[in-house]
Amino acid sequence: MLTLADLTIEFPHWRANYRLSVPKGALCALIGPSGGGKTTLLHLIAGFVHPLSGTLNFDGHDLLPLGPAKRPLSILFQEHNLFPHLTAADNVGLGIDPGLKLSAAQRTEIDGALARVELAGLGKRRPGELSGGQRQRVALARALVRRQPLMLLDEPFSGLDPGLRHDMIALVDTLRKENGLTVLMAIHTPTEASAVADLMAFIDEGQVLAAGPPGQIISNRDHPAQVRYFRNGGQETP
Amino acid sequence: MTMCVSKIAVTAGFVLAVGVGGATSQSDTPTLSVYTYDSFAGDYGPGGTVKERFEAVCDCVLDWVATDDAGTLLARLKLEGDTTGADVVLGLDTNLMAEAADSGLFAAHNIDVSNLDLPIDWNDDTFVPFDWGWFSFVYDSSRLAEPPKSFAELIEAEDGPSLIIEDPRTASPGLGLLLWVREVYGERAGEVWTKLKPRIVTVTRGWSEAYGLFLEGEADMVLSYTTSPAYHISVEDETRYKAAIFEEGHAMQVEVGGIVASSDNRELAQQFLEFMVSDAFQSAIPEGNWMYPARLPESGLPDAFADLGTPPHSFLTPPETVKSERRKLIDEWLSAMSQ
Amino acid sequence: MSRVPGIVALGLLAAIVGLALVGLAIAGGSPDIGGSWTYIRRLIILSLGQAALSTILSLTLGGALALSLARRTQFPGRRALIAAMNVAAVLPAIVAVFAIVAVFGRAGWFGGIAGALGFDFGSWLFGLSGILIAHVFFNAPIAARTFLAGLNSVTPEYWRLAAHLGMKPITIFRLIDRPVLAREAPGVAGLIFLLCFTSFAVVLALGGGPDAATLEVAIFEALRFEAEFRRAAILAILQIGICVALLVPIMALGRRPSETAASGIMQDRTDRSAALWRIADPLVLLFGGAFIVIPLAAIVTKGLADAGSLFEPRVLQALVTSIAIGLPAGLIGTAMALALASLSRHLRVGEGRSRSANAVGMAAILILVVSPMALSAGLFVVLRPLINPFAVAIPLIILVNALMALPFAYRQVEPPLLLSAERYGRLADSLGITGLARARLVDWPLLKRPLIVALAVATALSFGDLGVAAFFSSGDLITLPVLLHQRLGAYRMGEAASVSLLLSLLVLCLFLAAQRWSGDWIAHAR
């Protein structure tokens, strides 16, 4: 179980306070308008920023005292997940050893991860030689080799075509089920997310304004922000 | 707006330029413009005294125009050509004389040069000598206890004294040294430079720069004259500066003055040249330029000149030889020095 | 937008450069100068070697400083250090020479200390070592600035990845910092190489002999010291040839304008607390910083100490001459830049002829190829049969200085002019705003600041110029840099100090004014 209780952070012009519970092994979709606080939430969990107060627990462990590298999670950004001058295999290898000192067994593991995300044989390519979708899959492969129980995704598929996006979301779901991962995925297409998400949280104004099963969140318009958001059909220009 | 700004800016620019560039002042007394090297005209040279004494008899204004040293002097003249504002050039030496005469910029002097006190006979029609001396390396005896006694010793000693010399392209001592080496070593001059190079601290544009650096302690020896110590003895009461005398002999320098052919003040220039060999000018030379005067002043030489070393032999390369060899010698020197 | 000023400027440019080239060709005559070729060949090799060495050292120190500054964002004196680096980058070369001699010379601060300890340092300042020190002094800051900008604009995601994956400091350097340095290095290296290869003031003042010279100095000497027109011309032609050869790869490598920080929440570097850097960074900042700050301090302290010598007539005369030359040069250079930029824009946006527009841009930076000394030598030779060049020294110096400033002024005014047309051109057309009104309403707001910056840079460049002023100077005509050079040569350090301070203040005032108006210190100002 991932629990955020009153996790508060302050910026010069706004303030965020998060309250959220995600059961272990669940896929929780984070939706909401841009600038509303989805990314901040993920960065708080990842450890890139520090909260003023509140608690962050995963599986009974307090995550707050841990540095970003020590938290049991993997994170994918919207872009720039890979280093352009390293090969795909090396980029994945960073997940095993950030100094890239890899044994033969580890290299085999990398190849396996690449195969799992359907990029077998492309290990020697540089990110510049891969498509957007392929790059994000390399990042997914890296998350796999890290074998962390929690996975955070910050709109990693927003730049892809709808068909590809659908496939990637499906892949994330499959990996989640195979490995028993807890997944938080920020996404700007709630309808697509609702196909795989167990839980959906609507975030705006630095708060989790509503959380529950996807269908409920999409149809229920308790909060005025929710109404505004969904008036556009739940879509926003990425 | 942009167009306006462009136009205004360009016009303003040119107006300013022309205005400033074109301003000149005129006065009624004729001005005699004498080009010379800066240690002659500077505060520590004889220029001030000479100016005073000449203006007293000429009813004119004497204007010194100074360059770094003799080589630059000649170059400047050649650059200016006929349009030069110089009336008299004072400070070239016999090494530069032939080239200067070739430039066609000088006129005959018509002065009686038969009773001068030079160690050689003078028979040039264009230039008149005003002082002379021997080149030598000057050192601080409190720093260098055992100076080299010969050129050979200077060259061969690998951990020998450090040197400051002048550039032969710009300074007469520099060129003098080149010729001196040629006289002593002939075709082996290239070797000499290769051996000396590691000990040459710097090569300066002019004599004053070199001597100044030497006095600041930048090197053990400086290329100067046998008469340089006289300054320190006479003015500073200081005897530690001495000239090293080499047994092979020293190159001699005779400095000259000449009238510029395109001058508007030919008569005044002539008058100056006559003044130059008169007692009024010559008496200012020993303790002004610290060289031997071309004509001994009535009062003789000052005491400080009494104990100066004299070389066992003197060399003076014929001007025509210098003219034909100069380029080759300089290039040889440049090549050796740039290794 | 009228094309006429642009065409006039282009014509002027072509005329001046063309005349100079003609002069050089005529004076050059046959390439047969016998034994001199050995020396010239050696000279070129030495120049290239010196430039290469200067570049490597500058990049090394600049890179080290940039890395340390990127890692240490908060320490007392950080802003002062960066300010000092910016000052060092725009200081006139001859002032930098004075500063170096004042600190490292035998009679300088360090020289004295070393001498007391029994080390004999004074002499080594002359020659290659002195030249290298001076070149590194004002080129390392340029490199540091470029590298730092790059380091500070790394995508925040990479820092997050570094934190997230637990990268060690060495890995961070390898994967994040080093690629940035590698990317920026070629461009800045090319620039510094060209500057050092065509260096004049430093080499003239600290040369120490024929074994440490550049072609610029050789051209100057051939003409001024030996009146060897042919040799000067041949050297100048060689200089042009080599600069063309150098410029092609430099342009190809390109100079990307430093980009501002990427969007998104800024992320902190994660290697600040690394033990290795905590030892290395302070050392780098201390010694690198001292290398730059101490000579600057010498200018101030020694200059103030001898401030009295500023009130001599010669200094005032030099000041007036410098201003009389600098202001017109700045105005003309900027005016020409503006005219050329207008023309280029008209060709590109109005007529769609972008190749012609690029050609105009190339013309603006012609001086980088036809070096100031080559240009001056050519003009000298061409004018001499007609008029004594020394008599028209001031207009000549102004013209050549204006051309020297042209590339920098052009770089300032071309982008805003282009931007204005691209953004508002069609709008203005549709509303019928043309001519003067267009210039005033549409161009001027975008142009105002860059124009002031251009003017300040152009004028400052002329104030600080030694080469051209020395080339055309005769006894009476001295500018402040020429005066400073003379004082240094006569070892009159006190007087040199005060003139250095004066010159520095003049140049700095201009750059500060420019900074205030543009919000950014002048990058690549030299």
Structure tokens at C228: 């060897």
**With contact defined as beta carbons under 8 Å apart, do A116 and A141 qualify?**
yes
* Cβ neighbours of C321 in B, within 8 Å: 20
Assigned CATH topology for domain B134-252+310-337: D-Maltodextrin-Binding Protein; domain 2 (3.40.190)
Task: Tell me the C-alpha distance between B244 and A209, whole Å.
Answer: 98
Average pLDDT of the residues in B95-107: 92
Span(s) in chain B for CATH 3.40.190.10? 29-132+253-305, 134-252+310-337
pLDDT band at A234 (very low <50, low <70, confident <90, very high): low
Angstrom CA distances, C96 to B12, C56, C135, C497, stand at: 32, 19, 9, 11
* CA torsion through residues C271, C272, C273, C276, sign: positive
Residue A27 is predicted with a pLDDT of 95
Averaged confidence pLDDT in chain B? 87
> CA angle, C134 as apex, C133 and C136 as ends, to 5°?
65
Interface present between C and B (3 or more CB pairs within 8 Å): yes
Per-residue pLDDT of chain C (526 residues; tens, 9 = 90+): 467 888 998 999 999 999 998 888 888 766 666 667 888 888 899 899 999 999 999 999 999 999 999 998 888 889 899 989 988 988 999 999 999 888 887 677 877 777 676 655 556 677 888 899 999 998 999 999 999 989 988 888 999 999 999 898 888 999 999 999 999 898 889 889 989 999 999 998 888 777 778 999 988 888 888 888 888 888 888 999 998 888 877 777 655 544 444 444 566 787 887 888 889 999 999 999 999 999 999 999 999 998 888 888 889 999 999 999 999 999 999 999 999 998 998 888 878 888 888 888 888 888 888 889 889 989 998 888 888 888 889 999 999 999 999 988 998 899 898 888 888 887 887 877 777 777 877 888 888 888 988 999 899 999 999 999 989 987 778 899 999 988 887 777 888 999 999 999 999 988 888 777 765 554 444 3
Q: List, in sequence order, every residue forming a beta bridge with B32; answer none if it has no partner.
A: B62
Q: Does B235 touch chain C (CB under 8 A)?
A: no
> CA angle, C116 as apex, C113 and C120 as ends, to 5°?
85
Percent of chain B with pLDDT over 70: 92
Q: Would the pLDDT of A233 be above 60?
A: no
Residue B290 is predicted with a pLDDT of 93
**With contact defined as beta carbons under 8 Å apart, do C171 and C277 qualify?**
no
Residue C262 is predicted with a pLDDT of 42
C261: distance to nearest CA of chain A, Å? 15
Radius of gyration of chain C (CA): 24
**With contact defined as beta carbons under 8 Å apart, do B154 and B160 qualify?**
yes
pTM of the model: 0.83
Task: Tell me the C-alpha distance between A238 and C69, whole Å.
Answer: 36
| Domains present along chain C, CATH in parentheses | 4-518 (1.10.3720.10)
Residue C428 is predicted with a pLDDT of 80
Interface with A, mutate which of C158, C164, C263 (most A CBs under 10 A):
C164
Residue C34 is predicted with a pLDDT of 60
Task: Tell me the C-alpha distance between C97 and C137, whole Å.
Answer: 9
Q: Does C35 touch chain B (CB under 8 A)?
A: yes
Q: Average the pLDDT over each of B10-19, B34-43, B240-249 and give the range with the smallest value.
A: B10-19
Q: Does C436 touch chain B (CB under 8 A)?
A: yes
Give 3-state DSSP helix, strand, coil % of chain A, rounded to 5: 35, 25, 40
**With contact defined as beta carbons under 8 Å apart, do C218 and C224 qualify?**
no
Task: Tell me the C-alpha distance between C452 and C448, whole Å.
Answer: 6
Reported in sequence order, the residue ranges of A23-175 that DSSP labels E, i.e. its strands, are: 27-31, 53-58, 61-62, 73-76, 150-154
pLDDT band at B22 (very low <50, low <70, confident <90, very high): very low
Measure CB to CB from residue A69 to each of C158, C164, C170 and give the nearest one: C164
C331:B9 CB<8 A:
yes
Task: Tell me the C-alpha distance between C490 and B206, whole Å.
Answer: 10
Residue B23 is predicted with a pLDDT of 44
Structure tokens at B271: 């008058």
Answer yes or no: CATH 3.40.190.10 is held by domain B29-132+253-305.
Answer: yes
Measure CB to CB from residue B170 to each of C225, C439, C440 and give the nearest one: C225
Q: Does C332 touch chain B (CB under 8 A)?
A: yes
* Cβ neighbours of C158 in A, within 8 Å: 80, 83
